[in-house]
Amino acid sequence: MFEFKIKKTAKDSLARSGVFTTPHGKIQTPIFMPVGTKATVKTLSQSDLEKLDAEIILANTYHLFLRPGEALIKKMGGLHKWMNWNRPLLTDSGGYQVFSLSQKKDFTQKSEFKTSVKIDENGVKFKSHIDGSTHYITPEKAIQIQHDLGADIVMAFDECAPAHSSKEYFEKAMNLTHKWLSRCKKEHEKLYKKSPSKKQALFGIIQGGIYKDLRVESAKFVNSQNLPGNAIGGLSVGEGKKIMYEMVETVIPHLDLARPRYLMGVGTPEDLLECVDRGIDMFDCVHPTRMARHGAFFTKTGRFGIKNEKFKFDKNPLEKDCQCETCKNYSRSYLRHLIFENEILGLRLMTVHNVHFLLNLMREIRIQIEKNTFKKFKNDFLKKFKHKNE
Amino acid sequence: MFEFKIKKTAKDSLARSGVFTTPHGKIQTPIFMPVGTKATVKTLSQSDLEKLDAEIILANTYHLFLRPGEALIKKMGGLHKWMNWNRPLLTDSGGYQVFSLSQKKDFTQKSEFKTSVKIDENGVKFKSHIDGSTHYITPEKAIQIQHDLGADIVMAFDECAPAHSSKEYFEKAMNLTHKWLSRCKKEHEKLYKKSPSKKQALFGIIQGGIYKDLRVESAKFVNSQNLPGNAIGGLSVGEGKKIMYEMVETVIPHLDLARPRYLMGVGTPEDLLECVDRGIDMFDCVHPTRMARHGAFFTKTGRFGIKNEKFKFDKNPLEKDCQCETCKNYSRSYLRHLIFENEILGLRLMTVHNVHFLLNLMREIRIQIEKNTFKKFKNDFLKKFKHKNE
């Protein structure tokens, strides 16, 4: 179980293609994982996701812990059974959400309750953004919740410091993350001994902010834990693309080749290409689904907003020759109308297209790696793909 | 074109089964037509509707006239092509919506603009609930808009008086409706001569409120116009079920057997059964789709609300043995979570179930009519179906 087999490594790049085996099936890497925050990838049914050939999706522990609670999901037979998703699943630890509550404006503004987060050595006390109730999560608790949820891949509980923290703070958060990783690992092993039939892979998370020496230290420590996968956290949180790519470059040489590397929260087409090139195997991000619900869509020439006046009478699909259900059936003109009217079908059709676009990009990336033409493909793609937002 | 063939008439009931032929195919009657207000049946894709075997859907002229405007839809090749629906389509005339603006609280409350409606012999002046802009619709204009939209069945422009109007007002509104019907018919014939390739069936609408003598007068007048179908309007607007059934009973004897009868805005399971029994062939209603989005669902034993605590740990589908996609794949527990979280997937899955329930009920009704067992089926169904709303 949890075998990672590398199929091909590019000659002129750190990109590689592989297969990661989980209890619910194999995933082809490099892979993009659509985010199903509350046990649903917003607007899509599980059958839609299968048709899109999503091999693995992600659910958020923080949200499911608060509602409906892991006890309910456990009682219903676990997340897979409850949500009727029989393919691989990954849950995050809740760490990122717990901390982003106290930092992200758009998150706290949604809540009518004053959120607050208090961190100590043992764990984190925070207030629910739903009802203001107080909760305390420790590394052990985070692992227990994820054990109850029952995903194939579970994540260690980490402290994700804000992008503009001081170096001292990043170091402190990193050290705490390392201590917590050891405790997560211990709890994970304990639970595995109790119920050996429930096989879950625990991935550790590298922190260290925007400081190369901290990132190296963290990569070495996390890698030394010999877990089935290594993740990079705390990036794509406002530090800028250049620094993000630098941090990935800094970390990768210190991670075993033989284990998958997961860059958390990253998922624009350009970032996927740049980070596959730097040796990343797994990605997740709410960006493509969230932007779809705001009417933005990907094409090979860049991002566009469907509300633009120029699409009013446009009989073309979102993208010519795109094989997604949206593009095979509906015009830009009709989609523009649906998004303007805030019709639910519009939100779904835009989501189908964007998820298809990213999953298709990843399929293409895997093919190009195997043909040894990835670098050229990447350069050609980025030349055409302008990041404009019309 | 627009041939109505009666297949079977029940012996102990006015119920009959038939086939109505339109340019986009045949519909089996009695039929329920899901409502696609803004050229989309809320939450469902056209492919979902085909899988549900919806034979005909309805779109609202009022909404499409205001946004995006009939000129756009005409330019895009008509409603069928624009929304990618290749089966029969019906558009209402906009009359009901124009008048309900000034009467329905829940409608005006949604709008930030004071709505107002001014009726004269020639037409109706009203303010858009979207931007407060003033519009004037005449019977001719209503037919022109529907001609541009291009549905298979179009409706005459009528004045739909509030349920609690005086008899004098109902009579006045009825007389105006009759005058307008003649003008609609004239405009319809004129447009048909201009573009004979665009075949549309115009249905007249019977008004008269809750007064039998007015309803009889209106039925006779509308029937005398020899249009391909007769519709009954102004019911299910607050007059109560008993009166509604009485009005249907009053009207039916004055309508040709050989033409379909359409009861507008009616669509609860009990009303469908009661009104099929009284000779109605066609129905439409937003109720099943709207209540789905509020978490209410139909079963053979009545209506239930998915938010009920008792469904929290319920692994069963919404209804046992139901063959809809929702029931084949998801539990009440998971659906309850989705509705609580206001997740779009939940809205869709509940809608799929309710639309399936009603379309399936109509299929069953047609089978029972053909087997000459409709009356027994109706009685057995209503005995089990309690109108509770838990």
Alpha carbon distances (Å) from B369 to B18, B153, B376: 10, 25, 10
B68 CB within 8 Å of a chain A CB: yes
| Low-confidence residues in chain B, pLDDT < 50 | 104-109, 390
Query: Which among A38, A67, A84 has CB closest to B329?
Result: A84
Q: Copy the structure tokens of residue B89.
A: 């389509």
- The whole model's pTM is what? 0.96
Residues 330-349 of B with CB under 8 A from A: 330-331, 333-334, 337-338, 340-341, 343-349
- Where does residue A25 fall: left (phi above 0), alpha (psi -120 to 50 degrees), or beta otherwise? left
Q: Copy the structure tokens of residue A385.
A: 């793909």
Q: Please tell me the distance in Å from B83's CA to the nearest CA on chain A.
A: 6
What is the pLDDT, as a whole number, of residue A109? 46
- Which residues on chain A are in Cβ contact (under 8 Å) with B314? none
A389 close to A51: Cβ distance less than 8 angstroms: no
B43 CB within 8 Å of a chain A CB: yes
> What is the pairing mode between strands A201-206 and B16-22?
unpaired
B372 CB within 8 Å of a chain A CB: no
Place of tokens 């899988």: B51
B135 close to B126: Cβ distance less than 8 angstroms: yes
A211 CB within 8 Å of a chain B CB: no
- The helix (H) or strand (E) run that includes residue A299 is strand A296-299
Cis peptide bond upstream of B23, omega within 30: no
Query: If you measure CA to CA, which chain A residue comes closest to B337?
Result: A68
Q: Copy the structure tokens of residue A289.
A: 């689904």
> What is the pairing mode between strands A117-119 and A124-127?
antiparallel
Q: Copy the structure tokens of residue B86.
A: 């290749």
- Cα separation, A78 vs A73, whole angstroms: 5
Q: Please tell me the distance in Å from A325's CA to the nearest CA on chain B.
A: 10
Q: How many C-beta atoms lie closer than 10 Å to residue A373's C-beta?
A: 14
- The helix (H) or strand (E) run that includes residue B389 is strand B386-389
Query: If you measure CA to CA, which chain A residue comes closest to B331?
Result: A82
- The helix (H) or strand (E) run that includes residue A118 is strand A117-119
A166 CB within 8 Å of a chain B CB: no
| Low-confidence residues in chain A, pLDDT < 50 | 104-109, 390
Contact between A84 and B345 using a beta-carbon 8 Å cutoff = no
Q: How many C-beta atoms lie closer than 10 Å to residue B110's C-beta?
A: 10
Output the CA angle A353-A359-A362, nearest 5 degrees.
Answer: 140
Name residues whose C-beta falls within 8 Å of residue A195's C-beta, 6 or more positions apart in sequence: A147
What is the pLDDT, as a whole number, of residue B322? 98
Share of chain B above pLDDT 70, in %: 95
Give tens-digit pLDDT for B159-189.
999 888 999 999 999 999 999 999 999 999 9
Contact between B68 and A337 using a beta-carbon 8 Å cutoff = yes
B212 close to B246: Cβ distance less than 8 angstroms: yes
- Which residues on chain A are in Cβ contact (under 8 Å) with B343? 38, 40, 42
- Cα separation, A327 vs A320, whole angstroms: 8
- DSSP result, B53-101: T---EEE-HHHHHHTT-HHHHHHTT-HHHHHT--S-EEE--SHHHHHHH
3-state secondary structure of A126: strand
What is the pLDDT, as a whole number, of residue A389? 52
Active site includes B92?
yes
- Which residues on chain A are in Cβ contact (under 8 Å) with B341? 38, 67
B45 CB within 8 Å of a chain A CB: yes
A47 CB within 8 Å of a chain B CB: yes
Name residues whose C-beta falls within 8 Å of residue A243's C-beta, 6 or more positions apart in sequence: A210
Query: If you measure CA to CA, which chain B residue comes closest to A72?
Result: B313
Query: If you measure CA to CA, which chain A residue comes closest to B69?
Result: A337
Q: Please tell me the distance in Å from A302's CA to the nearest CA on chain B.
A: 25
B377 CB within 8 Å of a chain A CB: no
Query: Which among B40, B67, B313 has CB closest to A72?
Result: B313
Alpha carbon distances (Å) from B145 to A313, B11, B101, B156, B222: 18, 42, 19, 12, 22
What is the pLDDT, as a whole number, of residue A198? 93
Sorted by where each starts, the structural domains of chain A and their CATH numbers stand as 4-285 (3.20.20.105), 292-389 (no CATH)
- Cα separation, B293 vs B281, whole angstroms: 27
- Cα separation, B344 vs A179, whole angstroms: 40
- Cα separation, A19 vs A39, whole angstroms: 25
Q: Please tell me the distance in Å from A375's CA to the nearest CA on chain B.
A: 39
Alpha carbon distances (Å) from B304 to A129, A247, B214, B309: 30, 54, 38, 12
Active site includes B281?
no
* Interface predicted TM-score (ipTM) over 0.90: yes
A197 CB within 8 Å of a chain B CB: no
Q: Copy the structure tokens of residue A287.
A: 């960006």
Q: Please tell me the distance in Å from A152's CA to the nearest CA on chain B.
A: 20
Q: Copy the structure tokens of residue B228.
A: 């391909």
- Cα separation, B302 vs B199, whole angstroms: 41
Phi, psi for A215 (deg, rounded to 5)? -60, -40
B129 close to B109: Cβ distance less than 8 angstroms: no
3-state secondary structure of B386: strand
Best CA proximity match to A83, nearest among A39, A26, A149: A39
Contact between A82 and B331 using a beta-carbon 8 Å cutoff = yes
Cross-strand pairs, A117: A126
3-state secondary structure of B12: coil
A46 CB within 8 Å of a chain B CB: yes
